């Protein structure tokens, strides 16, 4: 299913604005007779790392790692999630999927609350259940959170304490800082074995990209 052009443009444009707004303040560089090249900043990472707190679907020993920065309320992110689910279903032992929070539509959709709720569910081993339900809703909203908590028998007191606390929010914010360091401008953004995917994120394109790296694809 192809996302509507207007919705896709919204994900990209709002993402760029949000990421620009959350950049850390910069200080003027000291005057130096020799300045580093502005085209190759040594401190800018080229690919994301897999953090110990990142949700992972698949084996740590899988030959391929797919990292996705995504927003639960972005329509094109829902399409990407569906594509990745089909890839994982076809090759469960050959690929691991690493989730990165990037709620760039928060000012429009309130998506950050969904990301924090999913991270609280992660503490109960239910992250991917929330992930799949949010994307299946098209679009997800905060009214779903209590129903999902009840459906998955998560203790309401501990869940609410988590949502109001700092731990889950910090996990979301750590991913946002990483996205800013990578200069990402929209969602979904996909990295396959450390290389950003420049094409439309479909199951066919992901499979083609994996095939160029290594068998068995």
pLDDT value at residue 186: 94
Beta bridge partners of 189: 69
Token pair for 104: 């760039």
pLDDT value at residue 24: 44
pLDDT value at residue 199: 78
DSSP label of 47: S
Bridge-based pairing of strands 95-101 and 56-57 is: antiparallel
pTM above threshold 0.75? yes
Q: What is the pLDDT of residues 49-58, one digit of tens each?
A: 999 999 999 9
pLDDT value at residue 28: 39
Question: Any idea which fold 5-18+48-213 has?
Answer: Glutaredoxin (3.40.30)
Burial class (CB in 10 A: 0-12, 13-18, 19+), 198: exposed
- DSSP helix/strand/coil, 184: coil
Cα–Cα distance, 81 to 87 (Å, whole number):
10
Token pair for 121: 């569910």
Return the domain boundaries, the chain.
5-18+48-213
Using 70 as the pLDDT threshold, list the residues of the chain that sit under it: 1-44, 213-217
């Amino acid at each position: 299913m192809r996302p509507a052009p207007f919705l896709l443009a919204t994900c990209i444009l709002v993402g760029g604005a949000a990421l620009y707004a959350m950049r850390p303040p910069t200080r003027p560089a000291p005057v130096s007779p020799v300045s580093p090249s502005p085209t190759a900043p040594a401190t800018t990472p080229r690919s994301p790392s897999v953090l110990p707190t990142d949700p992972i679907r698949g084996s740590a020993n899988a030959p391929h790692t797919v990292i996705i920065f995504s927003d639960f309320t972005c329509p094109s992110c829902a399409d990407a999630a569906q594509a990745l689910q089909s890839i994982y279903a076809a090759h469960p032992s050959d690929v691991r999927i690493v989730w990165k929070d990037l709620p760039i539509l928060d000012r429009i959709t309130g998506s950050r609350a969904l990301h924090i709720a999913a991270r609280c569910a992660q503490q109960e081993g239910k992250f991917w259940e929330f992930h799949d339900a949010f994307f299946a809703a098209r679009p997800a909203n905060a009214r779903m959170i209590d129903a999902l908590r009840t459906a998955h028998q998560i203790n309401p007191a501990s869940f609410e304490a988590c949502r109001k606390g700092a731990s889950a929010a910090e996990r979301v914010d750590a991913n946002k800082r990483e996205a800013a360091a990578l200069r990402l401008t929209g969602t979904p953004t996909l990295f396959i074995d450390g290389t950003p995917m420049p094409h439309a994120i479909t199951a066919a394109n992901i499979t083609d990209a994996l095939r160029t790296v290594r068998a068995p694809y």
